[in-house]
Amino acid sequence: MPPSQSPAALLPLSRDALVILLALGDQPRHGYGIMRDVEARSQGEVILQTGALYRALKRLLAEGLIEECHAPSEADSADARRRYYRRTRFGAAVLDAEVERMARLVRAARRAAVGKRPRLA
Amino acid sequence: MTSENRSHSAMALYRALLRCYPRAFRDRFGEEMTSAFGDAIAACPTRGARVNFLASAVVDAVRSGAAERAVAWRSRPRTSNTHPAGDTAMQSIMQDLRFAIRSLGRRPGLVTAVVLTLALGVGANTAIFSLLDAVLLHPLPAVARTDEVVAIYRAGSGRTPYQGVSYPLFQAMADHTRSLRALAADAGTTAAVRIAGRAEELDIRCVSGNFFSLLGLRAQAGRLLTPSDDDVPGAHAVVVLSDAMWTSAFNRRPSAVGSTIRIGERPFTIIGVAPRGFRGTSLSGAPQLWVPVTMLTSLGTGGLLATIGTHAYTLPSFTFFSLVGRLRPTVTPSAAAAELTTIAKNVQRQAAGRSGARGNGVVTFDSRGHVVHATPRISVVPIVQAAALADRGSLVRFVTILVVVVALTLLIACVNVANLMLVRGSERAHELGVRAALGASRSRIARALFIESLLLALLGAAAGIGVGLLTMHLLSAFTLPGGIRLDRVDLSLDGRVLAFAVALAIATALLFGLVPALRSSRADLAAVIAARGTGKRRAPRGILAGVQVALSLLLLVGAALFARSLRAGLTTDLGFDPRPIAAVDVELDLHGYSTHARSAAYFDEAMARARRIHGVTAVAIASQVPLGRLLEFPLKGLPPADGTPADSTISAGFVAISPEYFSVLGVPLVRGRAFTRADTHDAPAVVMVNEAAARAFSPAGAILGKTLGMLGGDGARVVGIVRDTKYGSVRDEHIPVVFVPITQGNPMPVTSIITRSEHPAATLAALRRTVAAIDPNVSIDNPRLVRDQIDTVLMPQRFGATLLGIFALISLCVSAVGIYGVIAYGVSQRAPEIAVRIALGARHMDILRLVLLRTAVAVVVGGVVGLAASVAASRTLARFLYGITPLDATAFLGAVLLLAIAAAVASCTPAVRATRIDPMTTLRAE
């Protein structure tokens, strides 16, 4: 599906989508590669199980944030069942937008008087 | 299993898990996912990590699969609900099922509450009805056509209503009966057995050769006894093993058949193994060996059986045999009893004609201990009842109580489920109205709710099976009245009961799940949607809460009564302090101590060694230690003061004791003196009596110094009176007991060595070692702390208190949740009304009254009804209550108080929340 909408329409990203887009930043990876990268990048805090991973991949594919690609030449072709994915240009734009959104959120939170919650009427 | 195999099975599991996902998803990603899973599990460093990973993969697959199916369902090609063209029935049911799973998934609290409640009801019922089946309905699963099999006794009276028959009478009956197809004799004893290198004291049944064929049993190895095995007394030294014995001694080796074991001094050849699941014809025993009935006096048991020898098979007074028969078709037990009674009378008449003797020598006692010479009467009892004959009345009543308790639990569970489902239905009235307005047909909505309820019921039933198995596991720690140890009984999940309980669970869930559906689909849509917030129809839920309160109170009172009774039993005055007493039994005449002098020397040595055990302050020997079975004999009463000859006979317990006996037990002397070592053979014969015996023999109170006529002796002078102690059980009345000194001969075989010490548990262990060291061939039986025996005796109370206590507490929690639910729901529904009232100046008390009044009335009415039911029901508990009356005020007050606290706690939170409603926020939301 060609990306026909603006990146902002897809925000906020789910946690799984965010970590997958981050994992596909530098090089194409297969499913297990993504699982390992996510775990390493988050220092074990985020662990993606296969089901959750592929649900997110399906959605990212449908929204055009990632695409399937050939295996990188240096990869061992041990398992023919492996398929590789990489981030699309649109995916990179959405990721940038999401990071910017989060940054704004953090700035706003820092400005607010922490610990003084407004009383709910 | 190699690690390759392991990962192989993990991969197979994962492929199966992929079925959780919709087909399209599976086709697109399945291969990749399997590959990634394989890589991930291969990377797990340890077995533990693999197990963890696998577990999280299962959770992930179920969750992701359900979510993905939900996505698929939402984006399905749309067809109108009212015109399901091209939509097959199966597909739409699957849609409803998915919808039900998702909608239940949003209410985990409700689902948990319903499933747990149903599981409790279903599980408890399955377990207790399986118990009922195993003990009362089908106690002998291995026996063929049990309805034809009967047990045959001489009818007695008083404490011994069922008595054995003599061998000649058995033979006469077997020869002449027309109502029985077969009749077998069965006598039990214990004997010293050397089997597979161990010396043990085993339960042996001596049965006639047709016993096994009569019961329709087949050997699982070798052969069983046949009529040719019992033709000549003492001639056929063959033995059949029980399944348990075959397992424990021979590890189920077929080669056991043909090998030899020693019973007493004699070798017996093993001819076969009884079928698995056959444990004799009584639930209270579990014989390990069967030998021919004509070997009864050849087992080296000594004592009475050795003395009587082969006369056992000719003496009409040796009534040691119980009989089992198989009725001919269409013959009733009472018809058989009439026929057998006639045969018995003929036998008696012939015997009288030959010898002029009175009767056939059988002496029975009535309930007051008076001797009765009655014409023989034969009782024929269906074997299903006879299997648990001892204290059968108590057993039946006790099991009935259990059944009623679990039935109540199921009722409470159903009421609770009904309550929860109604609340849920009301919550959804709005949603259902909207769906109907959007064009969903009535039947479609009803079907969706039906499937949702069915799903809940099935989940509850499945969890119920788990609860049932767990409950049966817990039950095996208990003993039923009549000495039926449940760990020996085959308790298996009863399929019919399970089916019934599951059906009931489903019916409940469906009924109360569908009521709101029908209501909302019938109702005026606009009214349902608009009625949100006005909260009508609270009454049924209030009533349900009341019913729960009543049932819970009933269970609580029952549990409290049992608990109080247990406490009373544990603290009862036995007449002595059981805590320091430890005892072991030895059966010397089973081990070749044939002469009195030899056994006296053995016991002297045993007492001397026991005294040296650290901490032991006193040692005695006796034929009997409380609490245990007291052997009773008839004694002539004392002549009345007017000099007429004595004509009353009094049944009294007989105990042979060493002089230290009363100081070991700590029983005080009331009058006269205790035995001393000076009471020898040469000194005048003396006895001591307890207070009950003093009252029975001499109501005027002057028994001291009088002479009692003794068994086969000249009589003995009463020299001392001791305080009454409980003998058989803590629940018994005090019975007359006569004590004779072992120093003046040995009228009763001494069996028990008793010690008093500060640390009885440690002493008991040392005592076993010490006594075993005297003669390794003598087996030590029944090592016990008297304190523990009290626990055994109080088992029914403990059982009742534990089981009822658990059920009562759970039902209390369920009721509390019910009360909480009703009030919280009422508050949420009436929030706008409450807000208006607060805005208009209502005080906290007014609001509390508003939200609590109805429920409070329901709870109080429920409480009163429950109390009334408890008063009525407590009567049926009376037989199991010891030391308290059925209307024990403490038990009733405690139960009411507990319930009141639970109700107060449950209603507190939602009621307070009602007073905190902010009028502005609430009204703006409307």
**Residue A65: partners with Cβ closer than 8 Å, 6 or more residues away:** A10, A17, A21, A87, A88, A90, A91, A94
pLDDT tens digits, one per residue of B547-568 = 888 888 888 888 888 888 878 7
- For residue B445, the model assigns a pLDDT of 74
pLDDT interval class at A78 (50, 70, 90) = low
> Which residues in chain A have their CB less than 8 angstroms from residue B30's CB?
none
Reading the block at residue B218, the tokens are 């087949």
Say if CB B528 and CB B430 are below 8 A apart: yes
- For residue B85, the model assigns a pLDDT of 46
Query: Looking at the DSSP assignment, which residues form a beta bridge with residue B582?
Result: B755, B785
**Residue A71: partners with Cβ closer than 8 Å, 6 or more residues away:** A28, A30, A77, A82, A84
Question: C-alpha B905: how far from its chain's center?
Answer: 35
Give me the percent of chain B exceeding a pLDDT of 70: 84
Alpha-carbon Rg for chain B in angstroms? 36
Give me the mean pLDDT over the B347-371 stretch.
52
Q: Does B27 touch chain A (CB under 8 A)?
A: no
- State whether A51 and B36 contact (CB < 8 Å): no
**Residue B514: partners with Cβ closer than 8 Å, 6 or more residues away:** B446, B449, B450, B453
- For residue B365, the model assigns a pLDDT of 42
Query: Looking at the DSSP assignment, which residues form a beta bridge with residue B656?
Result: B740
More confident residue, B270 or B538: B270
Say if CB B224 and CB B218 are below 8 A apart: yes
Of A30, A31, A55, the CB nearest to B67: A55
Q: Does A50 touch chain B (CB under 8 A)?
A: yes
> Which residues in chain B have their CB less than 8 angstroms from residue A47's CB?
56
Say if CB B479 and CB B399 are below 8 A apart: no
Nearest residue of chain A to residue B919 (CA atoms) = A121
At residue B364, does pLDDT exceed 60? no
Contacts 24+ apart (CB under 8 A), B666-670: B666/B576, B666/B577, B666/B580, B666/B756, B667/B575, B667/B576, B667/B722, B667/B723, B667/B725, B668/B722, B668/B723, B669/B720, B669/B721, B669/B722, B669/B723, B670/B721, B670/B722, B670/B723
Number of helices and strands in chain B (H, E): 26, 26
pLDDT interval class at B541 (50, 70, 90) = low
- State whether B64 and A51 contact (CB < 8 Å): yes
With CA atoms as reference, report the closest residue to B790 among B584, B591, B574, B602. B574
> Averaging pLDDT over each range in B88-92, B226-230, B501-505, which range is the top one?
B226-230
Q: Does B714 touch chain A (CB under 8 A)?
A: no
At residue B336, does pLDDT exceed 60? yes
Say if CB B274 and CB B225 are below 8 A apart: no
Q: Which of B224-238, B555-569, B861-875, B894-908 has the lowest mean pLDDT?
A: B555-569
Q: Which of A21-25, B266-270, B792-796, B872-876 has the lowest mean pLDDT?
A: B792-796
What is the ipTM score, two decimals? 0.86
At residue B26, does pLDDT exceed 80? yes
Give me the mean pLDDT over the B163-183 stretch.
89
3-state class of B322 per DSSP?
Answer: strand
Give me the mean pLDDT over the B505-514 stretch.
73
- State whether A30 and B921 contact (CB < 8 Å): no
Alpha-carbon Rg for chain A in angstroms? 17
**Residue B466: partners with Cβ closer than 8 Å, 6 or more residues away:** B119, B123
At residue B258, does pLDDT exceed 80? yes
- State whether B31 and A55 contact (CB < 8 Å): no
Question: What b/e readout covers B359-372, taking b as 16+ CB neighbours within 10 angstroms?
Answer: ebbbebbeeebbee
- For residue B765, the model assigns a pLDDT of 85
Give me the mean pLDDT over the B229-242 stretch.
89
What is the number of other CB atoms lying within 10 angstroms of the CB of residue B838? 22
Nearest residue of chain A to residue B17 (CA atoms) = A51
- For residue B567, the model assigns a pLDDT of 80
> How many Å apart are CA B205 and CA A57, to the nearest integer?
74
pLDDT tens digits, one per residue of A98-114 = 999 988 888 888 887 55
- For residue B411, the model assigns a pLDDT of 81
Question: C-alpha B279: how far from its chain's center?
Answer: 17
Amino acid at site B494? D
- For residue B5, the model assigns a pLDDT of 55
> Which residues in chain B have their CB less than 8 angstroms from residue A83's CB?
32
More confident residue, B814 or B301: B814
pLDDT interval class at B291 (50, 70, 90) = very high
Q: Which of residues 33-62 of B touch A (CB under 8 A)?
A: 33-37, 39-40, 43, 56-57, 59-61
Shortest alpha-carbon distance between residue B76 and chain A (Å): 16
Q: Does B775 touch chain A (CB under 8 A)?
A: no
Reading the block at residue A31, the tokens are 């499913």
**Residue A34: partners with Cβ closer than 8 Å, 6 or more residues away:** A20, A23, A24, A48, A53, A85
Query: Whole-number mean pLDDT of chain B?
Result: 79
**Residue B93: partners with Cβ closer than 8 Å, 6 or more residues away:** B447, B451
pLDDT interval class at B535 (50, 70, 90) = very low
pLDDT tens digits, one per residue of B398-457 = 888 888 888 888 888 878 777 777 777 766 767 777 777 777 777 777 777 778 888 888
Shortest alpha-carbon distance between residue B912 and chain A (Å): 19
With CA atoms as reference, report the closest residue to B373 among B640, B154, B697. B154
Shortest alpha-carbon distance between residue B62 and chain A (Å): 9
Reading the block at residue B363, the tokens are 């002496």
- For residue B87, the model assigns a pLDDT of 54
Name the DSSP class of A79: -
Enclosing H/E stretch for B737? strand B737-741
Of B32, B56, B61, the CB nearest to A83: B32
At residue B782, does pLDDT exceed 50? yes
**Which whole-number Å values give the CA distances from B877 to B117, B553, B873, in the listed order?**
27, 15, 7
Q: Does A31 touch chain B (CB under 8 A)?
A: yes
At residue B131, does pLDDT exceed 90? no
At residue B82, does pLDDT exceed 60? no
- For residue A85, the model assigns a pLDDT of 92
pLDDT interval class at B183 (50, 70, 90) = very high
**Which whole-number Å values give the CA distances from B682 to B208, B392, B743, B744, in the listed order?**
47, 48, 10, 8
**Residue B126: partners with Cβ closer than 8 Å, 6 or more residues away:** B464, B465, B468, B471, B493, B494, B497, B498, B501
- For residue B710, the model assigns a pLDDT of 63
CB pairs < 8 Å spanning A and B: 65
pLDDT interval class at B363 (50, 70, 90) = very low
Nearest residue of chain A to residue B42 (CA atoms) = A32
Secondary structure of B219-282 in HEC code, one letter for each residue = CCEECCCCHHHHCCCCCCCEEEECHHHHHHHHCCCHHHCCCEEEECCEEEEEEEECCCCCCCCC
Shortest alpha-carbon distance between residue A89 and chain B (Å): 24
pLDDT tens digits, one per residue of B720-737 = 999 988 876 666 677 888
At residue B789, does pLDDT exceed 80? no
- For residue A57, the model assigns a pLDDT of 92
pLDDT tens digits, one per residue of B144-157 = 888 899 999 888 65
Could you tell me the sign of the dihedral formed by the alpha carbons of B792, B795, B801, B807, in that order?
positive
- State whether A51 and B35 contact (CB < 8 Å): no
Q: Does A20 touch chain B (CB under 8 A)?
A: no
**Residue A56: partners with Cβ closer than 8 Å, 6 or more residues away:** A14, A16, A17, A20, A48
Give me the mean pLDDT over the B255-284 stretch.
88
Number of alpha carbons in the 13 Å side-chain half-sphere of residue A101: 14
- For residue B925, the model assigns a pLDDT of 66
- State whether A58 and B29 contact (CB < 8 Å): yes
> How many Å apart are CA B438 and CA B24, to the nearest integer?
30
Of B37, B68, B918, the CB nearest to A50: B37
> Which residues in chain A have their CB less than 8 angstroms from residue B61's CB?
50-51
Q: What are phi and psi of B329, to 5 degrees?
A: -55, 145
- State whether B32 and A81 contact (CB < 8 Å): yes
With CA atoms as reference, report the closest residue to B244 among B219, B275, B200. B275
Give me the mean pLDDT over the B842-849 stretch.
84
Pairing of strands B221-222, B238-241: unpaired
Peptide bond into A12 cis (omega under 30): yes
> Which residues in chain B have their CB less than 8 angstroms from residue A54's CB?
25, 29, 32-33, 64
Give me the mean pLDDT over the B153-162 stretch.
68
Name the DSSP class of B315: -
pLDDT interval class at B224 (50, 70, 90) = very high
- State whether B63 and A51 contact (CB < 8 Å): yes
> How many Å apart are CA B772 and CA B593, to the nearest integer?
15
> How many Å apart are CA B310 and CA B397, to the nearest integer?
42
At residue B770, does pLDDT exceed 80? yes
More confident residue, B172 or B629: B172
Q: What are phi and psi of B861, to 5 degrees?
A: -60, -45
> Which residues in chain A have their CB less than 8 angstroms from residue B32's CB?
30-31, 54, 81-83
Shortest alpha-carbon distance between residue B821 and chain A (Å): 27
> Which residues in chain B have their CB less than 8 angstroms from residue A58's CB?
25, 28-29
> How many Å apart are CA B875 and CA B857, to the nearest integer?
28
- For residue B357, the model assigns a pLDDT of 42
pLDDT tens digits, one per residue of A24-77 = 988 889 999 999 999 888 888 888 889 999 999 999 998 889 998 887 776 665
Shortest alpha-carbon distance between residue B794 and chain A (Å): 56
- State whether B64 and A83 contact (CB < 8 Å): no
Of A31, A47, A55, the CB nearest to B64: A55
Q: Does B64 touch chain A (CB under 8 A)?
A: yes
Shortest alpha-carbon distance between residue A106 and chain B (Å): 30
- For residue B729, the model assigns a pLDDT of 66
pLDDT interval class at B371 (50, 70, 90) = very low
Is B861 exposed, middle or buried (CB count within 10 Å of its CB: 0-12, 13-18, 19+)?
A: middle
